[in-house]
Structure 1
């Protein structure tokens, strides 16, 4: 009689481990190695470097500051959204008993206890907290990048190959790329939290939704039209 609950417990553990493995593998694949250099993120990082090099040739950098403001506003929006989601998780914790009563007749929910249900909510809260910290740090880095943009000397005055100009470009581009990476990590947390919702119904569904989210994200990184456009332009520029 105790075998079924024990089996369900280990299935939950396996599904949770699977979730983090898929997340880690996706993050590693898109950021490192040969495949990482074929990703949409890599192409955008190259565009960020080109942006900073072009910025150094402009006398008036209002265009660059406008772009930075847009990036900061987008990052701030997602940070605020993460805070709201965290508040929603606390509200769900407060009414977990009533929610379980409403879900009691669902065929896929099984014999979920209130303790397990609240543990799942806490896990979701942690995901949103992770996303918030990533967005908040990204916002701060974009702010630093704005300062670095203002500190880059004009290439026209010192020459495009001047060490001071190149160092300023590299610093601004590096911080901009770091800000983008943390922003992407925050978005990744939001995306995978959608897959995490499957756990509230069944651990097998949890693994399925996690896999589907990873497939969607991989497609956008390696097989999307946006990536094809950037790759074509990159090839044209190299030739």
Structure 2
């Protein structure tokens, strides 16, 4: 595993990065398929979103609904802005890379790496946060589209018509798509934290990546929150140990 290629790139680093990408892409693909047959936070929450939109049809004044959406939009905007700041930090590190290498070269728990390897790690981290920004920005646009759909809701006296029910379902679906995009942006943050461990040691990077996958899986498919929200689960026993 200590085989070294050009510019100080090691076989272990290549294996660690490949494992990271495989874990991220593989988990995302697997989770999307698995949630079609098993309850997950995304699938369970869709029923609540649909009920929310159907109830909104019966309200003459939908100020509360707009306030709820504004809260969601503000939280996504915060993450989008944070992604920009993190990206700026990564770019700033490029300008002082030699000083950082000098500071870390005597630390026993930090693997020795060439300048090219440091640049590769920083480029990987920067790409991760660029991807996160695009996801959060797209989620914001989708929520804006949902607001427009809600603005097209008919008057409450027409709430039970087929057309009204269809437009409520469309609003719920756009809501679900926006949250799915936001969820993938949040996953990017989780994996971004794993990528930081690559600066310490490739073996730690491999282990932390696996840990992140397990954490995300537990929260999406095995969490107490899911058991509480799932109508088919025994939520009364969630807090019994």
Instruction: Tell me if both proteins adopt one fold, taking TM over 0.5 as the criterion.
Output: yes
Classify 1:36/1:214 alpha carbon distance in 2 versus 1 (closer, same or farther; 3 Å).
farther
Matched, 1:148 2:149: yes
User: Normalising by structure 1, what TM-score?
Assistant: 0.90
Aligned to 1:183: 182
- In the alignment, the residues of structure 1 paired with residue 10 and residue 207 of structure 2 have an alpha-carbon distance, to the nearest angstrom, of 18
List per-residue Cα deviations over 1:109-129 (Å, max 9, x = no partner). 333001110110111001001
Moved more, 107-116 or 118-127: 107-116
Aligned to 2:86: 85
List per-residue Cα deviations over 1:12-64 (Å, max 9, x = no partner). 11111111111122212332235664211221122211211111121211111
Aligned to 2:216: 217
Shift of 1:137: 0.9
Greater helix content: 1
Aligned to 2:158: 158
Aligned to 2:56: 55
Q: How many residues get paired? A: 231
Aligned to 1:139: 140
Aligned to 2:198: 199
Task: Give the unaligned 5+ runs of structure 2.
Answer: 235-241
Task: Give the unaligned 5+ runs of structure 1.
Answer: none
Once the two structures are superposed, the pairs formed by residues 62-141 of structure 1 within 5 Å of their partners are 62-141=63-142
- In the alignment, the residues of structure 2 paired with residue 36 and residue 117 of structure 1 have an alpha-carbon distance, to the nearest angstrom, of 42
List per-residue Cα deviations over 1:114-147 (Å, max 9, x = no partner). 1110110111001001000110111111111111
Aligned to 1:208: 207
Equivalent residue of 1:110, what SS? coil
Note if contact 1:138-1:180 (Cα within 8 Å) is conserved in structure 2. Answer: yes
Once the two structures are superposed, the pairs formed by residues 22-61 of structure 1 within 5 Å of their partners are 22-33=23-34, 37-61=38-62
User: Normalising by structure 2, what TM-score?
Assistant: 0.89
- In the alignment, the residues of structure 2 paired with residue 218 and residue 36 of structure 1 have an alpha-carbon distance, to the nearest angstrom, of 15
- In the alignment, the residues of structure 2 paired with residue 68 and residue 230 of structure 1 have an alpha-carbon distance, to the nearest angstrom, of 20
Note if contact 2:23-2:209 (Cα within 8 Å) is conserved in structure 1. Answer: yes
Equivalent residue of 1:32, what SS? helix
Equivalent residue of 2:106, what SS? coil
